Amino acid sequence: MNVICPIPIRDYPNVTLAHGGGGFLMRSLIEKMIAPAFDSGEEFLQHDSAVLPQPKGRIAFTTDSFVVRPLFFPGGDIGSIAINGTVNDLAMSGARPLYLSCGFILEEGLPMETLWRIVQSMKAAAEAAGVKIVTGDTKVVDKGKGDGIFINTSGIGVIEHDLVIHPKSVQPGDAILVNGDIGRHGIAIMAVREGLSFETTIESDCAPLVATVQELLSAKIEIHCMRDCTRGGLASSLAEISATANRHIEIEEFVLPVREDVRGACEMLGFDPMYVANEGRFIAFVPQAHVAAALEILRRGAGGASTSIIGHVTEKTQPRATLKTRLGSTRVIDLLSGEQLPRIC
């Protein structure tokens, strides 16, 4: 990691409108700070589009804007989320992520050092996920018309297998696996925002899922569907998939992996951990015959030993997700109207 911000802080301690104006200042910001961090060579600067070799298969294409507050939190920051969020969306389609774009919307007055820390974090996250940031854009808006920094990343991945990983591929009998404990990202953000402290610091689960998904694919696990459990949490992913798949999904509450400190924080705040956002957790639908092999791979990944089988797809005809509670009753898992926590990603 570069230890000194390459833009002279004495000259430009803060981002100015001119840094987004298409002139010399913007060019020097990109040339000195952004392009070297993203290590895409001179090419990054020199033309309107990145020109890339023909991909060897179908492609996946996705986009996400990141507006999380605060910008830095235990376990991550807006930069690492911006990389992992988009990389994970590609991975969820069974694609191997190749290239990212990066669009900054900076607010006039953003400390240059803050931008630099975020760029460094993006660089590290991109390296960890094995993707290249190949094209970018920088805009600056007047003070009071933004909120420090917003980041859009879009991504291209290549699909190197013949599986159709999609809610419509879900089948009765499929087991539903989650790759670790849920609810940490949302609670980590909330704790910083509200100045809450717990006995231990709750860190975001923000992580790239690329390697784990690639392992599942290499092991020829017959994945029917995957989805990362970000905004709206595990519950929303389940509700959406059951609706699109037109299948009934049944989840067991007592097996849901939730850490004790997260459960405690949720009780205190009145949140249901199933609806709290994650940034490194996903569900995978796999046929029973592949469950053992899939579990073994997931347990080597980001969520480790808390990887669990949380439910299955039934033969029932109602296209909804239901939860068998600890008390033995059943309730429907619905989409919330909005979200418990705004701006968690």
Record the tokens describing residue 87, joined without a space: 């990389």
Q: Say if CB 273 and CB 185 are below 8 A apart.
A: no
Q: Is residue 167 a contact point for a copy of itself (CB under 8 A)? A: yes
Nearer to a copy of itself, 309 or 335 (CB): 335
Nearer to a copy of itself, 15 or 294 (CB): 15
Q: In the bound complex, what is the minimum distance in angstroms from residue 157's beta carbon to a copy of itself?
A: 7
Q: In the bound complex, what is the minimum distance in angstroms from residue 199's beta carbon to a copy of itself?
A: 30
Q: Is residue 329 a contact point for a copy of itself (CB under 8 A)? A: no
Instruction: State the DSSP code for 111.
Output: B
Site for a copy of itself in 295-324 (CB under 8 A): none
Site for a copy of itself in 1-40 (CB under 8 A): 16-27
Nearest to 39 by CA among 136, 112, 110: 136
Q: In the bound complex, what is the minimum distance in angstroms from residue 128's beta carbon to a copy of itself?
A: 20
Q: Say if CB 124 and CB 133 are below 8 A apart.
A: no
Record the tokens describing residue 182, joined without a space: 């849920």
Q: Could you tell me the sign of the dihedral formed by the alpha carbons of 296, 300, 306, 311, in that order? A: negative
Q: In the bound complex, what is the minimum distance in angstroms from residue 233's beta carbon to a copy of itself?
A: 8
Instruction: Give dist(CA 261, CA 241) in Å, integer.
Output: 29
Q: Is residue 180 a contact point for a copy of itself (CB under 8 A)? A: no
Q: Say if CB 200 and CB 260 are below 8 A apart.
A: no
Site for a copy of itself in 141-160 (CB under 8 A): 141-142, 144-147, 150, 152, 154-157, 159
Determine which helix (DSSP H) or strand (DSSP E) holds 323, and give its type and residue range.
strand 321-324
Stretch that binds a copy of itself, among 50-58, 117-125, 175-183, 289-297 (CB under 8 A): 50-58
Which residues are CB-neighbours of 109 under 8 A, at least 6 positions away? 14, 15, 143
Nearer to a copy of itself, 184 or 227 (CB): 227
Instruction: Give dist(CA 167, CA 172) in Å, integer.
Output: 12
Q: Residues 87-106 vs a copy of itself: string with x where CB under 8 A?
A: -xxx-xx-x---x-xxxxx-
Q: Is residue 172 a contact point for a copy of itself (CB under 8 A)? A: no
